[in-house]
Amino acid sequence: MRQDSKKLFVWASDIADNTLEQARVTATLPFIFPHVALMPDAHLGKGATVGSVIPTERAVIPAAVGVDIGCGMIAVRTQFTVKDLPEDRRAVREAIEAAIPLSAGKYNTSLTDSARDRVEALTELAEKYGFDPSSYAPNWALQLGTLGSGNHFIEITADENDDVWLFLHSGSRGIGNKIAQHHIKVAQEQMAKWWIRLRDDDLAYLVQGTKEFSRYMAELHWAQEFALQNRAEMMDRVVTAFEVWTGQAVERLETIQCHHNYTSLETHFGRELIVSRKGAIDAHEGVMGLIPGSMGTASYVVEGKGNRLALCSAPHGAGRDYSRSLARKTFTMAQLEESMQGIEYRHTDAFIDEIPAAYKNIDVVMNDSADLVSIRHTLHQLVNVKGD
């Protein structure tokens, strides 16, 4: 870790100049306290850097949460070991792909019983917060239990003891994106209304005590709950597909859920703050978390160390080194296949921009995180499912 300035602490040993400059700009905002914490996987983002922890007093920056509100991970440790699994891993991959809509814009055609219960609970929560999610996306209920694309994934993995884990990464889907985009625009309109000029328009903020702030915080918390329930619904479907494949019921020996694009109210350095983690997980002492590598590399089950200077946070993954467009120009299908040897996955050039070489080295990220978390398990992929 190094202190870049009074208001910026950096845990990344591998960081681009433009990423660092973006974080410096964020750290100059007058309501930042005590400082911005930049995680080991930090890379350039919209307004605020992906991989940053931004504590604020009486204000919130919608773009500092990100447009995939509540994006995060869920992992389940099962009673199975690798030797218990059938040899035909393609069958379970295809079963998962059939059970869960993949890719951007894909959603369910009807609700399962479990999804119906979750949608009912989310509807009641929206009513409590005084808004109608259908005003953003009429089909929001059908989005529950869908994966999306990009770096979202579903995996069957094994740890250092050959214990089998079910593991997935997704967020609040289209409904969360629309909520986020709406409030980023509202914040920018507020800046124009009050003649506030920022070095980056995407750092527009909402002030506590205004109706705009209250509405954003309510809808933000709803979207975070949607994301959590979305992951839970997908995990139920993955478990069912896994049970059919193995012919045995799954015992959920351990379940870990964590957001990495979210806001929470926390106390740090004696003050109550609004802590926005954009590409970072909660790493308070004893809190279990998940840090995924890129496609084809290791992921980690971790326990927080409660590092005060890091605002009790840790990285959310490997972090991109290449933009998607540059990755597609740089890498080949042959290189992707080489990096995925021994892993069951859908062979398509649509995943070239997800090749491990397009991301930071996860070993470097974890080494930089040594004072943030303790590694409890190292997971290696057996089956990988992604959306185009």
* Catalytic site residue from 259, 260, 316, 377: 316
Can 316 be counted among the known catalytic residues?
A: yes
* Mean predicted lDDT score pLDDT of the chain: 97
Q: Are 74 and 263 in contact (CB under 8 A)?
A: no
pLDDT-based confidence at 112, cuts 50/70/90?
Answer: confident
Domain count, the chain: 1
How would you list the strands of the sheet with 8-10, edge to edge? Answer: 2-5, 8-10, 36-43, 50-56, 271-278, 261-268
pLDDT bucket at 388, cuts 50 / 70 / 90: confident
With CA atoms as reference, report the closest residue to 369 among 283, 261, 287: 283
> Could you read off the pLDDT of 17-49 as tens digits, one per residue?
999 999 999 999 999 999 999 999 999 999 999
What letters, b where the CB count within 10 A reaches 16 and e where it falls short, cover 332-363? eeeebeebbeebbbbeeeebbbbbbebbbbbe
Q: Is the pLDDT assigned to residue 95 strictly greater than 90?
A: yes
End-to-end CA distance of the chain: 37
Express each pLDDT in 72-85 by its tens digit. Answer: 999 999 999 999 99
pLDDT digits (tens, 9 = 90+) for 309-324: 999 999 999 989 999 9
In DSSP terms, 222 is beta-bridged to: none
**Is residue 286 scored above 90 in pLDDT?**
yes
Tell me, what's the pLDDT at 120? 97
Q: Is the pLDDT of residue 13 over 90?
A: yes
pLDDT given at position 319: 87
Q: At CA 23, angle to CA 18 and CA 27, rounded to 5?
A: 145
CATH code at position 51: 3.90.1860.10
Angle made by CA atoms 293, 35, 24, in degrees to the nearest 5:
75
Per-residue pLDDT band for 306 (boundaries 50, 70, 90) equals: very high
Average pLDDT of the segment spanning 266-286: 98
Q: Under a CB-based contact definition with an 8 Å cutoff, are residues 146 and 385 in contact?
A: no
Q: Tell me: the pLDDT tens digits for 182-212? A: 999 999 999 999 999 999 999 999 999 999 9
Gap between the Cα atoms of 14 and 20, Å rounded: 10
Which segments of the chain are extended strands (E)? Answer: 2-5, 8-10, 36-43, 50-56, 59-60, 72-81, 153-158, 163-170, 206-207, 254-259, 261-268, 271-278, 280-282, 288-291, 299-304, 313-315, 373-385
- DSSP calls for 141-204: HHHTT---STT-EEEEEE-TT-EEEEEEEE--HHHHHHHHHHHHHHHHHHHHHTT---SSGGG-
Beta strand extents in 311-372 (DSSP E only): 313-315
Report the percentage of the chain scoring pLDDT > 90: 97
Mean pLDDT across 149-168: 97
Check residue 102 and give its pLDDT: 96
Q: Name, in order, each residue with C-beta under 8 angstroms of 8's C-beta and a sequence gap of 6 or more.
A: 23, 24, 27, 35, 36, 38
The pLDDT of residue 114 is above 90: no
| Residue range 213-238: mean pLDDT, rounded | 98
Domain span at residue 372 reads 2-385
pTM for the model: 0.97
